[in-house]
Amino acid sequence: MKFGSFIFCFFVFHLFPANVFGHGAMVIPYNWFDHPQWVEMEHGYEYGFVGMKSQQMCTPGADIPKHRVCPNPEHCEGLLNKHIGLACFWFTNYTFIEKPTLFDPKLRTYAHTGYEDQILHNPWRAPGFAPVATPCGAAGGNPYGCFGDKECGNDNGGYQLGPKATEFEFAHDIHVTDWTRGDHVEVAWGIRANHGGGYSYRLCKIPNEGRKALTEECFQQTPLRFVGNKQWVQFGEDRSTRFEFPAVRTDKGTFPPDSQWTKNPIPSCNGIHGGSNYLNPPCINGTQFPPPGPNLEGHGFYFREPKKHFPFSIIDLVEIPKDLEEGEYVLSFRWDCEQTSQVWNTCASVRLH
């Protein structure tokens, strides 16, 4: 590790004193963490898959015991959240791009921070180029430890030496979703802490050696195309609450070449903290870009009201290529952030017919 990078990391750590707690996850198709369970909702308990239940995007995985994801308790004792195996805790932290390729103001999500130089090499500035430790996320985001920083992540939304999701033995059977080749299918994710950026969905056929042999390179061979130029937010599981708006997508300057990415449509608040220090939406100082609709703005996780999350999921249609072989696949969601040097991943198992 070069000295310059250490200084940089030190600076970032202090620039975001408590801003990197939270995150996001793919919720449809049901991810590896999701299984039928009693879910505590605002109005009482509901049984079933968690999926798009309102404000529950991180709930899958909350039942994973802490010791199974944080081998060394002193690395995670400061964390605000006891449930550190939850789906919104699997990512690659501290990953950077070499050269920005994304300049179009319509694609930017954190152009109004006052710290442009410090976020210039964050993943979204060259979608798909930032290296990831593993294609389905690592618990705590730092599977190889942290650089020069003993207190890494602690109380800051990450921890070190957590397992990779591809190697994790789940206590439940992993749900498998059936899809037909050539179809247009719905996928959805939820934001818990809005770090801007954008995302892509990719497929990889499960290798003979199983889940543990899944690689980022394999997923990079089959990035999915989005269908049409519309997307939706939906509040909870009720389809009638869907709100439609134009999606902002790009396949220029992305990796793998021509892979298509969709901009995270929910603007954070202006400023480097993106609104995490506010009580609630709306953004009292304006948004990083115009919101797609009423109340579709802000950070999602508010330090002054940590129990409230965004009540909606973000839905897109993707096309399953006709020419793939039948069989057992994994879908990997990859969210490249602009506010932070992080890539969030969630995986789901699918069977292609």
Ligand X SMILES: *[C@@H]1O[C@H](CO)[C@@H](O)[C@H](O)[C@H]1NC(C)=O
Q: Which residues bind ligand X (CB under 6 A)?
A: 9, 13, 20, 93-94, 141-142, 146-147, 149, 152-153, 156-158, 271, 285
Which 3 state secondary structure label does DSSP give 172?
Answer: coil
CB neighbour class for 272 (10 Å; exposed up to 12, middle 13-18, buried from 19): middle
Number of residue whose CB is nearest ligand X: 158
Max CA distance (Å), the chain: 54
Q: How far is the CB of 152 from ligand X (least distance, A)?
A: 4
Q: How far is the CB of 153 from ligand X (least distance, A)?
A: 3
Nearer to ligand X, 72 or 285 (CB): 285
Polymer length of the chain:
353
Cα separation values, 316 from 90, 158, 239, 319, Å: 22, 28, 14, 10
161 is written with which tokens?
């030496």
| Distance separating alpha carbons of residues 59 and 75, to the nearest angstrom | 22
Q: How far is the CB of 268 from ligand X (least distance, A)?
A: 12
Q: How far is the CB of 27 from ligand X (least distance, A)?
A: 22
Q: How far is the CB of 283 from ligand X (least distance, A)?
A: 9
Nearer to ligand X, 142 or 254 (CB): 142
3-state secondary structure labels for all residues of 111-130: CCCCCHHHHCCCHHHCCCCC
Nearer to ligand X, 193 or 203 (CB): 193
Of 27, 13, 144, 168, give the one whose Cα is nearest residue 87: 27
Residue 217 DSSP label: H
Nearer to ligand X, 91 or 219 (CB): 91
Residue 189 near residue 313, CB atoms below 8 Å: yes
Q: How far is the CB of 297 from ligand X (least distance, A)?
A: 14
Query: Is the backbone of residue 106 left (phi > 0), alpha (psi -120 to 50) or beta?
Result: alpha
Nearer to ligand X, 271 or 292 (CB): 271
Nearer to ligand X, 21 or 201 (CB): 21
Q: How far is the CB of 322 from ligand X (least distance, A)?
A: 40
Nearer to ligand X, 28 or 146 (CB): 146
